[in-house]
Chains A and B, each alone.
Chain A
Amino acid sequence: MHVSLQNRGYCHLKRSSLNEKYKQRTAIFFPSKSLKNFLDSQAGLILTLPALAFVTIFVFYPLAQMFYLSLFRWNFVSPNMVFVGIEHYARMFLNDPVYLRSLVNVVLLAAQSSAIQIPIGVALATIIIRYRRIGGLFWAIIFLPYVISSVAVSLIWTWMYNPYFGSINVFLHAIGLGFLARPWLGDISTALIAIFGTVNWIYIGLTTTMTIATLKSIPPSIFESARIDGLSGFQEFRKITLPLLKELIVVLMIIDIAGAFQFFDLIWVMTQGGPSDSTHVTTTWLYRAAFRSSEPGYGAAIGVTIFIFSFVIVQLLIKITRSRLTR
Protein backbone atom coordinates (compact mmCIF):
# COMPACT_ATOMS: atom_id res chain seq x y z
CA MET A 1 0.00 0.00 0.00
CA HIS A 2 1.30 3.38 -0.93
CA VAL A 3 1.98 5.61 2.02
CA SER A 4 2.82 9.22 1.63
CA LEU A 5 5.47 10.30 4.08
CA GLN A 6 4.70 13.93 3.58
CA ASN A 7 2.35 15.97 5.58
CA ARG A 8 -0.67 16.13 3.35
CA GLY A 9 -2.36 18.93 5.11
CA TYR A 10 -4.61 16.84 7.29
CA CYS A 11 -3.02 18.25 10.37
CA HIS A 12 -5.91 20.54 11.04
CA LEU A 13 -8.25 17.56 11.26
CA LYS A 14 -8.96 16.15 14.67
CA ARG A 15 -7.77 12.63 15.33
CA SER A 16 -11.35 11.35 15.67
CA SER A 17 -12.22 12.60 12.20
CA LEU A 18 -9.12 10.83 10.90
CA ASN A 19 -10.41 7.64 12.44
CA GLU A 20 -13.74 8.23 10.67
CA LYS A 21 -11.94 8.60 7.37
CA TYR A 22 -10.04 5.39 8.09
CA LYS A 23 -13.28 3.54 8.69
CA GLN A 24 -14.80 4.78 5.45
CA ARG A 25 -11.77 3.67 3.44
CA THR A 26 -11.45 0.26 5.00
CA ALA A 27 -15.16 -0.42 4.61
CA ILE A 28 -14.59 -0.84 0.89
CA PHE A 29 -11.90 -3.48 1.33
CA PHE A 30 -13.10 -5.52 4.24
CA PRO A 31 -16.55 -7.03 4.25
CA SER A 32 -16.23 -8.06 7.92
CA LYS A 33 -15.69 -4.46 8.78
CA SER A 34 -17.24 -4.55 12.19
CA LEU A 35 -14.68 -6.97 13.65
CA LYS A 36 -11.89 -5.19 11.85
CA ASN A 37 -13.06 -1.85 13.14
CA PHE A 38 -13.53 -3.17 16.63
CA LEU A 39 -10.00 -4.57 16.72
CA ASP A 40 -8.66 -1.31 15.39
CA SER A 41 -10.56 0.76 17.91
CA GLN A 42 -9.03 -1.34 20.69
CA ALA A 43 -5.52 -1.29 19.18
CA GLY A 44 -4.05 0.66 22.06
CA LEU A 45 -5.10 -1.85 24.67
CA ILE A 46 -4.40 -4.91 22.51
CA LEU A 47 -0.85 -3.83 21.71
CA THR A 48 -0.05 -3.15 25.37
CA LEU A 49 -1.67 -6.35 26.62
CA PRO A 50 1.35 -8.70 26.42
CA ALA A 51 3.60 -6.25 28.26
CA LEU A 52 0.86 -5.55 30.76
CA ALA A 53 0.48 -9.26 31.43
CA PHE A 54 4.19 -9.75 32.09
CA VAL A 55 4.43 -6.72 34.35
CA THR A 56 1.30 -7.64 36.27
CA ILE A 57 2.35 -11.23 36.90
CA PHE A 58 6.02 -10.72 37.66
CA VAL A 59 6.12 -7.22 39.16
CA PHE A 60 2.79 -6.20 40.67
CA TYR A 61 1.42 -9.51 41.86
CA PRO A 62 4.58 -10.29 43.88
CA LEU A 63 4.64 -6.69 45.07
CA ALA A 64 1.11 -6.99 46.44
CA GLN A 65 1.82 -10.38 47.98
CA MET A 66 4.89 -8.97 49.70
CA PHE A 67 2.70 -6.75 51.89
CA TYR A 68 0.48 -9.69 52.75
CA LEU A 69 3.32 -12.09 53.53
CA SER A 70 5.04 -9.57 55.77
CA LEU A 71 2.22 -10.02 58.30
CA PHE A 72 2.79 -13.76 58.76
CA ARG A 73 5.31 -16.00 60.43
CA TRP A 74 6.05 -18.94 58.20
CA ASN A 75 8.92 -21.09 56.93
CA PHE A 76 8.30 -21.61 53.18
CA VAL A 77 7.18 -25.26 53.53
CA SER A 78 4.81 -25.69 56.46
CA PRO A 79 1.13 -25.32 55.55
CA ASN A 80 0.20 -23.15 58.52
CA MET A 81 1.05 -19.49 58.43
CA VAL A 82 0.78 -17.66 61.74
CA PHE A 83 -0.63 -14.17 61.60
CA VAL A 84 1.65 -11.87 63.59
CA GLY A 85 0.46 -8.44 62.43
CA ILE A 86 3.12 -5.79 62.57
CA GLU A 87 5.41 -7.85 64.79
CA HIS A 88 8.02 -8.11 62.04
CA TYR A 89 8.12 -4.36 61.62
CA ALA A 90 8.42 -3.80 65.34
CA ARG A 91 11.26 -6.32 65.51
CA MET A 92 13.04 -4.67 62.60
CA PHE A 93 13.21 -1.22 64.12
CA LEU A 94 13.35 -2.10 67.82
CA ASN A 95 15.10 -5.41 68.06
CA ASP A 96 17.33 -5.97 65.05
CA PRO A 97 20.62 -4.04 65.28
CA VAL A 98 21.89 -5.58 62.04
CA TYR A 99 18.90 -4.24 60.12
CA LEU A 100 19.48 -0.75 61.51
CA ARG A 101 23.19 -1.10 60.73
CA SER A 102 22.28 -2.10 57.17
CA LEU A 103 20.16 1.05 56.82
CA VAL A 104 23.10 3.14 57.99
CA ASN A 105 25.33 1.38 55.46
CA VAL A 106 22.86 2.14 52.67
CA VAL A 107 22.86 5.82 53.64
CA LEU A 108 26.66 5.82 53.78
CA LEU A 109 26.80 4.12 50.39
CA ALA A 110 24.48 6.66 48.78
CA ALA A 111 26.27 9.59 50.45
CA GLN A 112 29.77 8.51 49.48
CA SER A 113 28.66 7.67 45.93
CA SER A 114 27.25 11.17 45.51
CA ALA A 115 30.15 12.90 47.23
CA ILE A 116 32.88 11.11 45.26
CA GLN A 117 31.42 10.07 41.93
CA ILE A 118 29.53 13.23 41.03
CA PRO A 119 32.41 15.76 41.33
CA ILE A 120 34.91 13.41 39.66
CA GLY A 121 32.36 12.44 37.00
CA VAL A 122 31.57 16.07 36.19
CA ALA A 123 35.27 16.95 36.02
CA LEU A 124 36.07 14.01 33.76
CA ALA A 125 33.06 14.73 31.55
CA THR A 126 34.18 18.33 30.92
CA ILE A 127 37.70 17.11 30.14
CA ILE A 128 36.45 14.43 27.76
CA ILE A 129 34.31 16.92 25.88
CA ARG A 130 37.07 19.54 25.71
CA TYR A 131 39.85 17.23 24.51
CA ARG A 132 37.87 15.14 22.13
CA ARG A 133 40.48 12.86 20.60
CA ILE A 134 42.23 11.62 23.72
CA GLY A 135 38.96 11.98 25.61
CA GLY A 136 37.22 9.38 23.44
CA LEU A 137 39.75 6.71 24.34
CA PHE A 138 39.68 7.72 28.00
CA TRP A 139 35.89 7.56 28.04
CA ALA A 140 35.95 4.05 26.56
CA ILE A 141 38.36 2.94 29.30
CA ILE A 142 36.53 4.33 32.32
CA PHE A 143 33.17 2.95 31.16
CA LEU A 144 34.54 -0.57 30.65
CA PRO A 145 33.96 -1.92 34.22
CA TYR A 146 30.26 -1.19 33.89
CA VAL A 147 29.74 -3.84 31.20
CA ILE A 148 31.47 -6.59 33.22
CA SER A 149 29.26 -8.60 35.55
CA SER A 150 29.23 -7.51 39.17
CA VAL A 151 30.22 -11.01 40.26
CA ALA A 152 33.33 -10.96 38.06
CA VAL A 153 34.23 -7.48 39.27
CA SER A 154 33.71 -8.47 42.89
CA LEU A 155 36.00 -11.48 42.47
CA ILE A 156 38.70 -9.38 40.81
CA TRP A 157 38.60 -6.85 43.64
CA THR A 158 38.52 -9.57 46.27
CA TRP A 159 41.87 -10.61 44.82
CA MET A 160 43.10 -7.00 44.81
CA TYR A 161 42.32 -6.85 48.53
CA ASN A 162 43.70 -10.34 49.28
CA PRO A 163 46.08 -10.21 52.26
CA TYR A 164 48.69 -12.51 50.67
CA PHE A 165 48.90 -11.83 46.94
CA GLY A 166 46.58 -8.80 46.68
CA SER A 167 48.08 -5.97 44.69
CA ILE A 168 47.21 -3.33 47.25
CA ASN A 169 49.27 -4.92 50.00
CA VAL A 170 52.06 -5.77 47.56
CA PHE A 171 52.10 -2.15 46.46
CA LEU A 172 52.17 -0.83 50.02
CA HIS A 173 55.11 -3.09 50.84
CA ALA A 174 56.88 -2.01 47.66
CA ILE A 175 56.73 1.70 48.53
CA GLY A 176 57.73 1.14 52.15
CA LEU A 177 54.30 1.52 53.69
CA GLY A 178 54.07 -2.14 54.59
CA PHE A 179 52.72 -1.34 58.05
CA LEU A 180 49.47 -0.23 56.37
CA ALA A 181 48.97 -3.62 54.75
CA ARG A 182 46.04 -5.57 56.13
CA PRO A 183 43.28 -8.03 55.13
CA TRP A 184 41.14 -5.21 53.78
CA LEU A 185 37.86 -7.11 53.52
CA GLY A 186 38.39 -9.06 56.75
CA ASP A 187 39.14 -6.01 58.88
CA ILE A 188 36.05 -4.52 60.44
CA SER A 189 37.45 -0.99 60.17
CA THR A 190 38.25 -1.17 56.44
CA ALA A 191 35.80 -3.66 54.91
CA LEU A 192 33.11 -1.10 54.11
CA ILE A 193 35.63 1.42 52.74
CA ALA A 194 37.16 -1.29 50.55
CA ILE A 195 33.72 -2.09 49.13
CA PHE A 196 33.05 1.61 48.51
CA GLY A 197 36.31 1.81 46.56
CA THR A 198 35.12 -0.94 44.23
CA VAL A 199 31.70 0.70 43.90
CA ASN A 200 33.29 3.95 42.74
CA TRP A 201 35.60 2.06 40.38
CA ILE A 202 32.57 0.49 38.68
CA TYR A 203 30.24 3.47 38.54
CA ILE A 204 32.53 6.43 37.82
CA GLY A 205 32.23 5.67 34.10
CA LEU A 206 28.43 5.63 34.31
CA THR A 207 28.27 8.96 36.16
CA THR A 208 30.66 10.48 33.62
CA THR A 209 28.63 9.13 30.72
CA MET A 210 25.37 10.55 32.05
CA THR A 211 27.07 13.91 32.58
CA ILE A 212 28.49 13.90 29.05
CA ALA A 213 25.04 13.18 27.63
CA THR A 214 23.65 16.16 29.55
CA LEU A 215 26.48 18.47 28.56
CA LYS A 216 26.13 17.50 24.91
CA SER A 217 22.50 18.57 25.01
CA ILE A 218 23.73 22.13 25.66
CA PRO A 219 23.97 24.05 22.36
CA PRO A 220 27.67 24.63 21.55
CA SER A 221 26.96 28.23 20.57
CA ILE A 222 26.80 29.10 24.26
CA PHE A 223 30.37 27.95 24.76
CA GLU A 224 31.50 29.76 21.63
CA SER A 225 30.09 33.07 22.75
CA ALA A 226 31.59 32.52 26.18
CA ARG A 227 35.01 32.02 24.62
CA ILE A 228 34.57 35.17 22.56
CA ASP A 229 33.72 37.02 25.76
CA GLY A 230 37.07 35.85 27.08
CA LEU A 231 35.97 33.46 29.79
CA SER A 232 38.66 31.08 31.01
CA GLY A 233 38.07 27.37 31.16
CA PHE A 234 37.26 27.45 34.84
CA GLN A 235 35.02 30.51 34.54
CA GLU A 236 33.25 28.87 31.64
CA PHE A 237 32.64 25.81 33.79
CA ARG A 238 31.38 27.79 36.76
CA LYS A 239 29.22 30.28 34.86
CA ILE A 240 27.67 28.06 32.20
CA THR A 241 28.18 24.38 32.80
CA LEU A 242 27.51 24.16 36.51
CA PRO A 243 24.09 25.87 36.53
CA LEU A 244 23.03 23.65 33.66
CA LEU A 245 24.32 20.64 35.55
CA LYS A 246 22.25 21.39 38.63
CA GLU A 247 19.31 19.29 37.58
CA LEU A 248 21.57 16.44 36.51
CA ILE A 249 23.31 16.47 39.88
CA VAL A 250 19.95 16.14 41.61
CA VAL A 251 19.03 13.28 39.30
CA LEU A 252 22.36 11.55 39.93
CA MET A 253 21.86 11.84 43.68
CA ILE A 254 18.40 10.30 43.36
CA ILE A 255 19.90 7.47 41.30
CA ASP A 256 22.55 6.97 43.98
CA ILE A 257 19.89 6.73 46.69
CA ALA A 258 17.73 4.31 44.69
CA GLY A 259 20.84 2.37 43.65
CA ALA A 260 22.03 1.97 47.24
CA PHE A 261 18.78 0.19 48.08
CA GLN A 262 19.27 -2.13 45.09
CA PHE A 263 22.79 -3.04 46.07
CA PHE A 264 23.39 -6.73 46.55
CA ASP A 265 25.83 -8.61 44.32
CA LEU A 266 29.03 -6.85 45.28
CA ILE A 267 28.55 -7.17 49.02
CA TRP A 268 27.32 -10.75 48.86
CA VAL A 269 30.32 -11.88 46.82
CA MET A 270 32.97 -9.84 48.63
CA THR A 271 32.00 -10.15 52.30
CA GLN A 272 28.55 -11.81 52.62
CA GLY A 273 27.80 -8.97 55.03
CA GLY A 274 30.73 -9.74 57.30
CA PRO A 275 32.96 -9.32 59.19
CA SER A 276 30.59 -9.45 62.18
CA ASP A 277 27.64 -8.31 60.04
CA SER A 278 29.29 -4.89 59.64
CA THR A 279 28.87 -4.59 55.85
CA HIS A 280 25.27 -5.71 55.44
CA VAL A 281 22.95 -3.62 53.30
CA THR A 282 19.18 -4.06 53.50
CA THR A 283 19.09 -6.42 50.49
CA THR A 284 21.76 -8.78 51.82
CA TRP A 285 20.06 -8.80 55.22
CA LEU A 286 16.74 -9.57 53.50
CA TYR A 287 18.39 -12.50 51.73
CA ARG A 288 19.90 -13.81 54.94
CA ALA A 289 16.62 -13.54 56.84
CA ALA A 290 14.38 -14.96 54.13
CA PHE A 291 16.52 -17.69 52.59
CA ARG A 292 19.22 -18.57 55.10
CA SER A 293 17.20 -18.28 58.31
CA SER A 294 14.03 -19.43 56.50
CA GLU A 295 11.91 -16.52 57.66
CA PRO A 296 10.16 -15.43 54.46
CA GLY A 297 7.68 -13.32 56.43
CA TYR A 298 10.46 -11.27 57.96
CA GLY A 299 12.20 -11.08 54.58
CA ALA A 300 8.99 -9.76 53.01
CA ALA A 301 8.73 -7.14 55.77
CA ILE A 302 12.27 -5.99 55.03
CA GLY A 303 11.23 -5.93 51.35
CA VAL A 304 8.34 -3.62 52.22
CA THR A 305 10.75 -1.17 53.85
CA ILE A 306 13.09 -1.36 50.84
CA PHE A 307 10.13 -0.62 48.58
CA ILE A 308 9.00 2.30 50.70
CA PHE A 309 12.47 3.80 51.07
CA SER A 310 13.54 3.36 47.47
CA PHE A 311 10.29 3.82 45.54
CA VAL A 312 8.03 6.07 47.56
CA ILE A 313 10.74 8.38 48.87
CA VAL A 314 12.50 8.56 45.52
CA GLN A 315 9.23 9.41 43.74
CA LEU A 316 8.62 12.15 46.30
CA LEU A 317 12.13 13.48 45.81
CA ILE A 318 11.62 13.54 42.05
CA LYS A 319 8.34 15.43 42.45
CA ILE A 320 9.80 17.97 44.84
CA THR A 321 12.95 18.64 42.82
CA ARG A 322 11.03 18.81 39.54
CA SER A 323 8.65 21.43 40.85
CA ARG A 324 11.49 23.38 42.45
CA LEU A 325 13.71 23.27 39.39
CA THR A 326 11.04 24.20 36.91
CA ARG A 327 9.74 27.08 38.96
Chain B
Amino acid sequence: MTTKRSITVTVNGQQHQTEVEPRMLLVHYLREVLDLTGTHIGCNTSQCGACVVMLNGEAIKSCTVLAVQADGGEVLTIEGLAPEGGLHPIQEGFWEKHGLQCGFCTPGMIMASYQLLKNNPHPTETEIRRGLEGNICRCTGYQNIVKAVQDASERMSTSAETPVPAGD
Protein backbone atom coordinates (compact mmCIF):
# COMPACT_ATOMS: atom_id res chain seq x y z
CA MET B 1 0.00 0.00 0.00
CA THR B 2 1.38 3.38 -0.90
CA THR B 3 1.52 6.43 1.30
CA LYS B 4 -1.41 8.77 1.03
CA ARG B 5 -0.62 12.41 0.60
CA SER B 6 -2.32 15.46 1.90
CA ILE B 7 -3.22 17.96 -0.81
CA THR B 8 -4.76 21.40 -0.69
CA VAL B 9 -6.72 22.44 -3.73
CA THR B 10 -8.95 25.45 -4.22
CA VAL B 11 -11.92 24.38 -6.28
CA ASN B 12 -14.45 26.96 -7.45
CA GLY B 13 -13.10 29.36 -4.87
CA GLN B 14 -13.33 26.95 -1.97
CA GLN B 15 -10.23 25.47 -0.38
CA HIS B 16 -10.17 21.72 0.32
CA GLN B 17 -7.56 19.76 2.20
CA THR B 18 -7.71 16.04 1.56
CA GLU B 19 -5.66 12.88 1.99
CA VAL B 20 -5.48 11.08 -1.35
CA GLU B 21 -3.75 8.09 -2.87
CA PRO B 22 -1.05 9.47 -5.19
CA ARG B 23 -2.56 7.57 -8.10
CA MET B 24 -5.95 9.21 -7.80
CA LEU B 25 -6.77 11.07 -10.99
CA LEU B 26 -7.86 14.69 -10.67
CA VAL B 27 -11.18 13.85 -12.31
CA HIS B 28 -11.89 11.23 -9.63
CA TYR B 29 -10.86 13.68 -6.93
CA LEU B 30 -13.36 16.22 -8.24
CA ARG B 31 -16.14 13.72 -8.83
CA GLU B 32 -15.78 11.31 -5.96
CA VAL B 33 -14.08 13.21 -3.18
CA LEU B 34 -15.65 16.62 -3.73
CA ASP B 35 -18.88 15.29 -5.32
CA LEU B 36 -18.52 17.71 -8.24
CA THR B 37 -19.98 15.33 -10.81
CA GLY B 38 -20.46 17.89 -13.58
CA THR B 39 -17.02 16.99 -14.94
CA HIS B 40 -17.30 13.75 -16.92
CA ILE B 41 -15.09 10.91 -18.10
CA GLY B 42 -15.53 10.01 -21.74
CA CYS B 43 -12.47 8.29 -23.17
CA ASN B 44 -9.63 7.98 -20.65
CA THR B 45 -6.97 8.61 -23.27
CA SER B 46 -7.29 12.41 -23.44
CA GLN B 47 -9.01 12.46 -26.84
CA CYS B 48 -12.58 13.42 -25.96
CA GLY B 49 -12.38 16.39 -23.59
CA ALA B 50 -15.43 15.50 -21.45
CA CYS B 51 -13.18 15.98 -18.41
CA VAL B 52 -11.88 19.46 -19.24
CA VAL B 53 -11.57 21.82 -16.26
CA MET B 54 -9.44 24.90 -15.66
CA LEU B 55 -6.33 24.34 -13.55
CA ASN B 56 -4.45 27.47 -12.59
CA GLY B 57 -6.17 29.37 -15.35
CA GLU B 58 -5.60 26.87 -18.15
CA ALA B 59 -7.90 24.25 -19.61
CA ILE B 60 -6.66 20.73 -18.93
CA LYS B 61 -7.92 17.18 -19.27
CA SER B 62 -8.50 16.11 -15.70
CA CYS B 63 -8.41 12.39 -16.57
CA THR B 64 -4.73 12.80 -17.46
CA VAL B 65 -3.67 14.76 -14.39
CA LEU B 66 -3.10 13.33 -10.92
CA ALA B 67 -4.83 14.99 -8.01
CA VAL B 68 -1.44 15.39 -6.33
CA GLN B 69 -0.27 17.44 -9.32
CA ALA B 70 -3.02 19.94 -8.52
CA ASP B 71 -1.75 20.36 -4.95
CA GLY B 72 -1.63 24.05 -4.14
CA GLY B 73 -3.53 24.88 -7.30
CA GLU B 74 -6.82 26.43 -8.25
CA VAL B 75 -9.44 24.52 -10.18
CA LEU B 76 -12.53 25.84 -11.89
CA THR B 77 -15.22 23.36 -12.90
CA ILE B 78 -18.56 23.72 -14.65
CA GLU B 79 -20.21 24.05 -11.24
CA GLY B 80 -18.20 27.17 -10.46
CA LEU B 81 -18.47 28.92 -13.80
CA ALA B 82 -21.38 31.16 -12.87
CA PRO B 83 -22.55 32.44 -9.51
CA GLU B 84 -25.16 30.28 -7.79
CA GLY B 85 -28.42 30.40 -9.73
CA GLY B 86 -26.97 32.31 -12.68
CA LEU B 87 -25.58 31.34 -16.02
CA HIS B 88 -22.28 32.27 -17.60
CA PRO B 89 -22.67 33.79 -21.11
CA ILE B 90 -21.17 30.61 -22.55
CA GLN B 91 -23.81 28.54 -20.80
CA GLU B 92 -26.46 30.92 -22.11
CA GLY B 93 -25.02 30.58 -25.60
CA PHE B 94 -25.18 26.78 -25.46
CA TRP B 95 -28.80 26.94 -24.30
CA GLU B 96 -29.88 29.60 -26.77
CA LYS B 97 -28.29 27.97 -29.81
CA HIS B 98 -29.12 24.34 -28.98
CA GLY B 99 -25.43 23.58 -28.58
CA LEU B 100 -26.06 20.31 -26.79
CA GLN B 101 -28.20 17.21 -27.01
CA CYS B 102 -27.30 14.45 -24.56
CA GLY B 103 -25.25 16.95 -22.58
CA PHE B 104 -22.45 14.58 -21.64
CA CYS B 105 -19.67 16.36 -23.51
CA THR B 106 -21.16 19.76 -22.65
CA PRO B 107 -19.37 20.68 -19.41
CA GLY B 108 -16.01 19.90 -21.02
CA MET B 109 -17.03 21.69 -24.19
CA ILE B 110 -18.08 24.75 -22.19
CA MET B 111 -14.82 24.79 -20.21
CA ALA B 112 -12.81 24.45 -23.43
CA SER B 113 -14.84 27.33 -24.88
CA TYR B 114 -14.11 29.32 -21.72
CA GLN B 115 -10.39 29.10 -22.37
CA LEU B 116 -10.90 29.70 -26.08
CA LEU B 117 -12.75 32.97 -25.45
CA LYS B 118 -10.32 33.97 -22.74
CA ASN B 119 -7.46 33.71 -25.25
CA ASN B 120 -9.42 35.04 -28.17
CA PRO B 121 -12.59 37.01 -27.32
CA HIS B 122 -13.71 37.34 -30.96
CA PRO B 123 -12.85 34.10 -32.72
CA THR B 124 -13.78 33.32 -36.32
CA GLU B 125 -15.68 30.11 -37.09
CA THR B 126 -12.42 28.45 -38.12
CA GLU B 127 -10.75 29.52 -34.89
CA ILE B 128 -13.66 28.19 -32.85
CA ARG B 129 -13.59 24.84 -34.62
CA ARG B 130 -9.83 24.63 -34.21
CA GLY B 131 -10.05 25.68 -30.57
CA LEU B 132 -12.43 22.81 -29.85
CA GLU B 133 -10.34 20.13 -31.56
CA GLY B 134 -9.73 18.43 -28.23
CA ASN B 135 -13.43 17.86 -27.56
CA ILE B 136 -15.56 15.22 -29.19
CA CYS B 137 -19.32 15.63 -29.44
CA ARG B 138 -21.21 12.69 -30.85
CA CYS B 139 -24.64 14.39 -30.99
CA THR B 140 -24.55 17.86 -32.49
CA GLY B 141 -22.23 17.72 -35.48
CA TYR B 142 -20.62 20.80 -33.81
CA GLN B 143 -22.57 23.32 -35.86
CA ASN B 144 -24.67 24.62 -32.99
CA ILE B 145 -21.67 24.51 -30.68
CA VAL B 146 -19.93 26.91 -33.02
CA LYS B 147 -23.03 29.12 -32.96
CA ALA B 148 -23.13 28.88 -29.16
CA VAL B 149 -19.55 30.11 -28.85
CA GLN B 150 -20.23 32.92 -31.32
CA ASP B 151 -23.29 33.86 -29.30
CA ALA B 152 -21.28 33.78 -26.07
CA SER B 153 -18.58 35.92 -27.64
CA GLU B 154 -21.17 38.54 -28.51
CA ARG B 155 -22.76 38.37 -25.08
CA MET B 156 -19.41 38.71 -23.37
CA SER B 157 -18.37 41.71 -25.42
CA THR B 158 -21.66 43.51 -24.88
CA SER B 159 -22.10 42.66 -21.23
CA ALA B 160 -20.25 44.91 -18.84
CA GLU B 161 -20.34 42.35 -16.10
CA THR B 162 -19.20 38.92 -17.04
CA PRO B 163 -19.43 36.72 -14.00
CA VAL B 164 -15.97 35.42 -13.38
CA PRO B 165 -15.71 33.58 -10.13
CA ALA B 166 -13.08 34.19 -7.56
CA GLY B 167 -9.93 32.23 -7.95
CA ASP B 168 -9.65 32.53 -11.69
Whether A and B are associated in the same complex: the answer reads no
Residues of B whose CB lies within 8 Å of any CB of A are none
Residues of A whose CB lies within 8 Å of any CB of B are none
